[in-house]
């Protein structure tokens, strides 16, 4: 092997390693609120790879995001001055692109393995964590074991899971198997939180040291639930109660978990409270409605899925919800803005801006 070829190889390796040291990786796990297109590569009905999804994305194409444009992880990436994470199943995710991080989320999943069974082939949470291990092996081969460990330890993790355990499991039908098993809602929430804690323990064991954990959103206020549960246009009380109980237990679990490990590794994100700001007062945020979805059909455009045959609004910035379940890009931007600056009612124990400052200072300290 020639010395010139060896020099090129060494220079490439140095360049890749320096990129790993100079950027913060971002890892995303969870459901359709944060899926960047993994389900495009799976045989499942839980997909968003057809128009009008992506109508306001830069290339105006459906990417697999359940949004008219950017979703929450995309906007967080913009705030940390990074590229959007690619879906881990995307064959184009390789080489230096791995250093940006990866998105393992899959629409339809829940905390429980039986959640979303109707979608058949989705990446359940245990599988997402297995793929995270696979990702780490690939990165170690690229930049070495020590650099890989630093990349993961210094990375930011975002997790959104739990909503489907209610809307696509417990409340999927009047007498679901889980409702029969757990007639008391608090007991069911306790099951979810205990299983969620196992997931968070596992991701910590895999090297994650800063994890944003999104709670359940305003389940009773999304257009799909207004259409099927509400008689008067007000948020469905039972589903709102479920989200509140889950979120309260989640905050307590995260406090306990942080005490166990001796650091504020996990941050509770109260997305229910964040969304209620603009659901309760849509005009204050420039929305015309927080009840009717931009894309859909039936009451509140909340019946069925968003397709090319659906009613489609002309101005997506006037709608808090893009489809029957998911916020519009504008609403996602409001959510992320609140993550950055919100007080303890929104983010516990600290907001995203505080996290970024603390972590940047700590990283600078290790380099000096």
Active-site choice (84, 230, 323, 328): 323
Active-site choice (35, 67, 74, 326): 326
Whether 326 is catalytic is yes
Whether 276 is catalytic is no
Cα 272 from Cα 269, distance rounded (Å)? 9
Cα 246 from Cα 179, distance rounded (Å)? 15
Cα 254 from Cα 212, distance rounded (Å)? 10
Active-site choice (23, 31, 32, 77): 32
Closest to 62 in 3D by CA, of 35, 97, 83: 35
Whether 165 is catalytic is no
Q: Which sequence positions are flagged as catalytic?
A: 32, 323, 326
């Amino acid at each position: 092997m020639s010395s010139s070829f060896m020099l090129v190889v060494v220079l490439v390796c140095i360049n890749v390693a320096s990129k790993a040291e100079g950027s913060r990786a971002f890892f995303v796990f969870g459901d359709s609120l944060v899926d960047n297109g993994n389900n495009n590569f799976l045989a499942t009905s839980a997909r968003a790879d057809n128009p009008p999804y992506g109508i306001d994305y830069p290339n105006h194409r459906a990417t697999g995001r359940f949004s008219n444009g950017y979703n929450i992880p995309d906007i967080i990436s913009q705030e940390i001055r990074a590229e959007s994470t690619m879906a881990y199943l995307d064959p184009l995710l390789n080489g230096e692109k791995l250093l940006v991080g990866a998105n393992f989320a899959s629409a339809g999943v829940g905390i429980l393995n039986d959640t979303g069974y109707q979608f058949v082939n989705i990446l359940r949470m245990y599988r997402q964590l297995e793929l995270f291990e696979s990702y780490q092996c690939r990165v170690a081969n690229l930049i070495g074991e020590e650099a890989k460990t630093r990349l993961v330890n210094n990375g930011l993790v975002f997790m959104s899971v739990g909503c489907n355990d209610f809307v696509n499991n417990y409340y999927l039908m009047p007498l679901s198997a889980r409702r029969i098993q757990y007639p008391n809602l608090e007991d069911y929430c306790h099951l979810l939180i205990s299983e969620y804690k196992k997931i968070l323990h596992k991701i910590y064991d895999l090297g994650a040291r800063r994890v944003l954990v999104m709670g359940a959103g305003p389940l009773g206020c999304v257009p799909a639930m207004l259409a099927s549960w509400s008689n008067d246009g007000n948020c469905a009380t039972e589903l709102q109660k479920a989200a509140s109980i889950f979120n309260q237990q989640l905050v307590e679990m995260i406090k306990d978990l942080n005490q166990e490990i001796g650091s504020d590794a996990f941050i509770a994100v109260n997305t229910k409270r964040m969304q209620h700001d603009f659901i309760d007062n849509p005009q204050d945020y420039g929305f015309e409605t927080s009840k009717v979805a931009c894309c859909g059909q039936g009451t509140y455009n909340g019946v069925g899925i968003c397709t090319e045959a659906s009613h489609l609004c002309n101005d997506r910035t006037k709608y808090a919800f893009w489809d029957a379940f998911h916020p519009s890009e504008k609403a996602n931007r409001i959510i992320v803005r609140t993550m950055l600056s919100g007080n303890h009612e929104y983010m516990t124990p600290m907001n995203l801006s505080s996290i970024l400052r603390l972590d940047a200072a700590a990283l600078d300290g290790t380099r000096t």
